[in-house]
Amino acid sequence: MKKKILVLGAYGFLGSSLCPILKKFGFEIIKHGRNKESETNFNMSDLSDVQRSLKILNPDVIINLIAFTNVDECEKNKNKAEMANVKVVKILTKAIKNVSMKNNLHLIHISTDQVYNGRGLHTEEDAEPINFYGKSKYMGEKEASKIGSTILRVNFIGKSNKAGKKSLSDWIVESLREKKKINVFKDVIFSPLHISNLCKNIMVVVEKQLSGIFNLGSCNGMSKAEFAFQLSKLLNLDENLINPVNLKQVKLTADRPLNMQMNVKKYEKMFKVSLDDVKEQIILTANDYK
């Protein structure tokens, strides 16, 4: 019997790629969004509405992709960030507890590598967020942990399927193709997965439903500048347009962590998978633009 999955925030950047993949592999998908055109659009800030909708929809798994992710805007508008990243999760977990129509109803909550700071590789115990986005996502994790849930700290790359939402690689490729010079951080290190690999691993989590907090990224990392250089080489773009800079050279509203590299051994061990090298993720990203 195929699992019924309710995807919250299904029409965003990740959801736009995740839902078709889940559907392709035989899962029944219910897509939640904010707009009236969404398949379902119940009010995530209203506990009674969430509970009523969960009773009607009766999912086996809920994947929460709802988030306010603009780091600088989170710093400027902390109320909005707290609503999306903390209060929605609190309401959701309370609704799941109250409804309890299925003992095996499982929550998969997507978090971020922005909860880390300082020298990597970071294990799951190392959370030390330095901006409000990271702090709000960390608070959201604490709410999700109050029930049986899988919390995935992620960073992902690849072409966006969401209209009006550009990814890091979209910005790099479009800028270089338009012969624009770009500043890219040489001292900010991350360990992203290509969005297709992230989606495949979320399917693994759907099947195994192991509770806990897990880092989910590539097995190693590199700087964002090196990522830009390698991507440009694969696409035969002009590397001379890439200007590697240090984070402190650019004025930003919110502080940023310099090293977000994640130790993914816990995820690999518990879910019995091997995660690929970051260079493999860049090859997949380059293929998005060919």
228: in domain: no
Phi, psi of 118 (to 5 degrees): 85, -170
Question: Which pLDDT does position 266 carry in this prediction?
Answer: 98
Question: Which pLDDT does position 102 carry in this prediction?
Answer: 59
Residue 270 CB contacts under 8 Å (≥ 6 apart), including other chains: 210, 212, 214
Exposed e or buried b per residue across 252-262, where buried means at least 16 C-beta atoms within 10 angstroms of its C-beta: eebebbbbbbb
237: in domain: no
Question: Which pLDDT does position 163 carry in this prediction?
Answer: 82
Question: Which pLDDT does position 161 carry in this prediction?
Answer: 86
120: in domain: yes
Per run of 10 residues, the mean pLDDT along the chain (length 290 residues) is 92 95 95 94 96 95 97 97 98 92 84 94 96 98 96 97 90 98 97 97 96 97 98 98 96 95 98 97 98
Question: Which pLDDT does position 164 carry in this prediction?
Answer: 83
73: in domain: yes
CA 204 and chain centroid, separation: 16
283: in domain: no
Contact 123, 263 (CB under 8 A): yes
Q: Based on the structure, what is the number of domains in the chain? A: 1
88: in domain: yes
- Please name every residue paired with 112 in a beta bridge, in sequence order, or none if there are none: 154
69: in domain: yes
Question: Which pLDDT does position 103 carry in this prediction?
Answer: 63
Residues of the domain holding 92: 4-160+192-220+261-278
d(CA 280, CA 290): 16
Question: Which pLDDT does position 235 carry in this prediction?
Answer: 98
Neighbours of 176 (CB within 10 A): 22
Question: Which pLDDT does position 154 carry in this prediction?
Answer: 98
Give helix 278-287 / helix 224-234 axis angle, nearest 10°. 50
Question: Which pLDDT does position 2 carry in this prediction?
Answer: 84
14: in domain: yes
Residue 102's CATH number: 3.40.50.720
